[in-house]
Structure 1
Amino acid sequence: MKILVLGDTHIPKRAKKLPSIIKTVCKEVDRIIHVGDWQTIEVYEELSKLGTLDGVFGNVDSQDLMEVLPENKIVTLNGKKIGIVHGHGKSQTTEKRAIAAFKDHNVDCILFGHSHIPLNKVVNGILLFNPGSATDKRRQGSYSYGMLTITHEIHAEHKFYSVKE
């Protein structure tokens, strides 16, 4: 199973539309997961048309998105429990807030965003993965998204690109 992981798209504030590379990758995966800060319901609707979609709302998302998406959720894919959260909040780091969101759940992986900083590491046996941002790289060298491949284990990798057309 191949999963596209997106976050912090911030459309239309940071980009007018989804980058063409993202639209192409949507056609090649089994599922799309967005970790929040879509900004508008139109981004959710567009991604929903491109594939099976899961997601959560972030701190800059519209009320419309907050009405259709949870703040965090757990999905089970190929027998692996995946926690999804944006990671915003007060105190602690984004990473620590993401871990805390699932402290009472036995998840295999936590997907989160908010910082726009790509991250791929294991903490206490849990894969932590932040895809970075597909449209707002901030101080990062490139825009990015994530790919999860789930077989008997979860493999995560970042894909980087320099043009967000």
Structure 2
Amino acid sequence: MVDIRLMIIGVISDTHIGGRIKDLPKELLDGLRGVDLIIHAGDILKDYVIYELEEIAPVEAVAGNNDDYYIHDKLGIKKIIDVGKFKIGITHGNGGGSALKRAMAMFARDKVDCVIFGHSHIPYNEKIDGVLYVNPGSPTDKRTQKQYSYAILKVDDSGISAQIRYF
């Protein structure tokens, strides 16, 4: 098997652009520069957010509960992507109960190494039963959190690790 080089993935969710929040923050855009891929876990609201992010790196995204029918139809609510020898599941995590439990249930029958989710706006980075679960929080709507946040995933042949970045 060929070793994969280190791949850096920017992870965001719950940007909610288009209402009272007009633009992606400079701190987020600067922090994403140089990543190989960006994952957006929903609540995008305006599709031009994807196009803006694509100016930095390719984007994989799913729709969230606040996204309209167009975004739902275009992106869906569940996706599994291959990154080297690893599989990463992406969902928003909305519905009844905790976002983590919903994300776990969404991929319970799938063989994934990492699950990216959002919805709660609360950063989370924990491995459970061999699967890394990452919620990047929100870079635009911190709600009960002290700071805005996003995450950076590092993927190479040894595995997947995540770091929450605050600003």
Same fold (TM over 0.5): yes
In structure 2, what is the Cα distance between the partners aligned to 1:118 and 1:25?
Answer: 16
TM-score, length basis structure 2 = 0.92
Instruction: Report what 2:23 is aligned to.
Output: 17
Structure 1 stretches of 4+ with a deviation exceeding 4 A read none
1:146·1:156 contact (CA, 8 Å) conserved in 2?
A: yes
- Are 1:106 and 2:121 counterparts? no
Aligned length: 160
Q: Flag structure 2 segments of 5+ consecutive residues without an equivalent.
A: 1-6
- Are 1:81 and 2:87 counterparts? yes
Query: Counterpart of 1:73 in 2: which secondary structure?
Result: strand
| One-letter code aligned to 1:103 | A
2:34·2:56 contact (CA, 8 Å) conserved in 1?
A: no
Offset of residue 68 of structure 1: 1.3
In structure 2, what is the Cα distance between the partners aligned to 1:2 and 1:52?
Answer: 12
Quick one: which of 135, 141, 149 aligns to 2:154? 149
Offset of residue 117 of structure 1: 0.2
In structure 1, what is the Cα distance between the partners aligned to 2:8 and 2:56?
Answer: 14
1:40-55 → structure 2 map (5 Å cutoff): 40-55=46-61
Q: Flag structure 1 segments of 5+ consecutive residues without an equivalent.
A: none
Query: Counterpart of 1:50 in 2: which secondary structure?
Result: coil
1:39·1:62 contact (CA, 8 Å) conserved in 2?
A: yes
- Are 1:26 and 2:41 counterparts? no
> In percent, how many aligned pairs have the same letter?
43
Offset of residue 72 of structure 1: 0.5
In structure 1, what is the Cα distance between the partners aligned to 2:20 and 2:115?
Answer: 25
Query: Counterpart of 1:25 in 2: which secondary structure?
Result: helix
TM-score, length basis structure 1 = 0.93
